[in-house]
Amino acid sequence: MRNEMSGTALAPALWPASVNPVVRNVLLVVVGTGILTLSAKTSVPFWPVNMTLQTFAVMLIGAAYGRGLAVATVVAYLAAGFAGLPVFTNTPPMIAGPGYFLGTTGGFLLGFIPAAFIVGWAADRGWDRSVLKIGAAMIAADIVVFALGFVWLAFFAQLSSGATGIGAASAWTNGVANFLLADAVKIGLAAAAVVAGWRIVENRRAK
């Protein structure tokens, strides 16, 4: 049985002990960056608006990777977008790069960093064995993402019209309220997936 303070998250635990940890971590960051990119490009029909799977991917990576590796992965993903690679939603036709972060989603994107930290921190302490515990960590992380995204969207986002921010009421409706149900579903799925992953690992070890 894994010690809750051992700091071993699911994804690193799945790799053979013979694999160099540095090589393993680099490969996991590359894989995680790819997952985040695919999640940004995937739109799922939902009510009241369609949703991407990015929040799901961030929560899943945080829980499966642990704090340090999850944060490194999210930073690598954001750095790729900052450098101009088309890893974000709607790129193309929109152009990635520094200017993308000034747009309407900049606050949400930066919120992925503390979200990965929070969920990864919980995973490092063994909370990834319980849907309720890791789910609670994901809810806390999601609140941070929404808070940063809301403030940026309401008051600082640079709009194509030349205006700055869309106002608090509009930011709440279009940037938060419309996505609460979808994020609840994604958190539930991510929490269940990680706990199920650990059960599979433990069953194999027990044989």
pLDDT in tens, 6-59: 447 899 888 877 788 899 999 999 999 999 999 999 988 776 667 889 999 999
Helix (H) or strand (E) holding 43: strand 43-44
Residue 124: how many CB atoms within 10 A of its CB? 21
Contact assessment for residue 135 and residue 48, using Cβ atoms and an 8 Å cutoff: no
When pLDDT is averaged across residues 171-197 and rounded to a whole number, the result is 95
Q: What is the mean pLDDT of the chain?
A: 91
User: Residue 52 pairs with which residues in a beta bridge?
Assistant: 43
Secondary structure (3-state) at 91: coil
pLDDT of residue 72: 97
Residue 16 preceded by cis peptide, ω within 30: no
Say which range, 151-160, 161-170, 198-207, has the weakest mean pLDDT.
Answer: 198-207
Cα–Cα distance for residue pair 26/151, rounded to 1 Å: 33
State the amino acid at position 110 in one-letter form. Answer: L
pLDDT of residue 38: 97
| The pair of three-digit structure tokens given for residue 160, joined into one six-digit string | 């194509």
pLDDT of residue 16: 77
CA atoms within 13 A on the CB side of 119: 36
Q: What is the dihedral of CA 44, 54, 104, 143, to 10 degrees?
A: 110
Say which range, 7-16, 94-103, 132-141, has the weakest mean pLDDT.
Answer: 7-16
Secondary structure (3-state) at 207: coil
> What percent of the chain clears pLDDT 70, i.e. is strictly above it?
94
Q: Is the pLDDT of residue 2 over 60?
A: no
When pLDDT is averaged across residues 163-170 and rounded to a whole number, the result is 95
Report the CATH number of the 10-206 domain.
1.10.1760.20
pLDDT of residue 200: 86
